[in-house]
Amino acid sequence: MKTPQPLPEPLAYAPFTFREALDAGASHRRLRRPGLPAPSRGIRIPGDLAEPGFAALVRPVSRITEFSAASHATAFRLWSLPGFLPGADSPGFHISRPDTVAIPRRTGVVGHVGQFFPDEITNLDGVLLTTRARTWLDVSRRMSIDELTVVADHLIRRPRPELEGRREGYASIDELAEMLDREGLPEPWLNPRTELRAGVVRQPDLAYPEYRVAVECEGEGHSEAGQIIRDISREEDFSRAGWTLVRLSKRHMANEARSAVAKVRAALLDRGWAPRG
């Protein structure tokens, strides 16, 4: 058996796509020879390459199909974001495309489609992926509010230039708030009469009956002993009926109610709401 011709120099050190190989001068025949593992159609790994790193494996997957980018848990890992993301170590690379084209379908890929603004996709050492802020938004449905806050703090934290080689945070509070605004919330019902069970009717300030999420805005009087008892009873009524009651205080309404929006959004995501994007 003939010894295969060496691969062109750029292809010897990392996984690559068929198109990249052809552009570098490799032949179709060479790419079909044994010794080039194929993790997915149109992608090859040099046979004598040591175990490729995570980013090296993601790179060709993010480029093999037009209008694609690594996203969700894969982008979370590529950006080394802090905190616990359920499913982050599950098999498969998460790849997103605009919802105007087909969802990614290939071996080893978890496909997503959504709406993307041009500034939400970037390049990290050759990997096309969602920005840190967009990644924070995409993983929000799988994280608790506390975990999301950990990631947000990481993004907006002022760095130490002498240790980190940068002077600006990865994102600003305004950028994260704008990311939430781009996704928005569904339209709520205002003060709907809500029968939770026979003889038990509540009338929350806002409600999303389809998702069984209710919202109550609490004023100063809710710190009184009698009101605390009534609040607990109300919350128990919603819980027994399978509803989530989101309680908002004055502090949630600061900074254009961004904290309130985040809290309601997390509850809706937990109950199955899927924003466009």
The strand ranges marked E within 53-187 are 69-70, 93-98, 109-114, 121-124, 127-130
Does residue 220 have a pLDDT over 70? no
3-state percent breakdown (helix, strand, coil) of the chain, nearest 5: 40, 20, 40
Query: Of residues 216 and 89, which shows the higher confidence score?
Result: 216
* Mean pLDDT, the chain, whole residue set: 85
> Given a cut of 70, is residue 277 above it in pLDDT?
no
Q: Is the pLDDT score of 222 beyond 70?
A: no
pLDDT above 70: residue 22: yes
Q: Cα separation of 144 and 137, whole Å?
A: 12
**The pLDDT of residue 11:** 79
As a whole number of angstroms, the distance between CA 179 and CA 92 comes to 26
Q: Reply yes or no on whether the pLDDT at 226 is more than 70.
A: no
Three-state SS for 221?
helix
The Cα 7–Cα 105 span in angstroms is: 28
- Amino acid identity of residue 155, one-letter, is L
Q: What is the pLDDT of residues 147-177, one digit of tens each?
A: 888 899 999 988 888 888 888 899 988 888 7
Q: In the structure, how many helices (H) and strands (E) does the chain have?
A: 10, 13
Q: Assign 276 a pLDDT band (cuts: 50, 70, 90).
A: low
- Strand boundaries in 84-138, DSSP class E: 93-98, 109-114, 121-124, 127-130
- Quick one: average pLDDT of 19-45? 83
Per-residue pLDDT band for 2 (boundaries 50, 70, 90) equals low
pLDDT at residue 4, as a whole number? 66
* Closest by Cα among 253, 267, 248, 259 to 144: 267
More confident residue, 48 or 132: 132
Tokens of 167: 């002077």
> In this predicted structure, what is the pLDDT of residue 195?
92
Whether residue 75 contacts residue 94, with contact meaning beta carbons closer than 8 Å, is answered with: yes
Say what the pLDDT of residue 210 is.
93
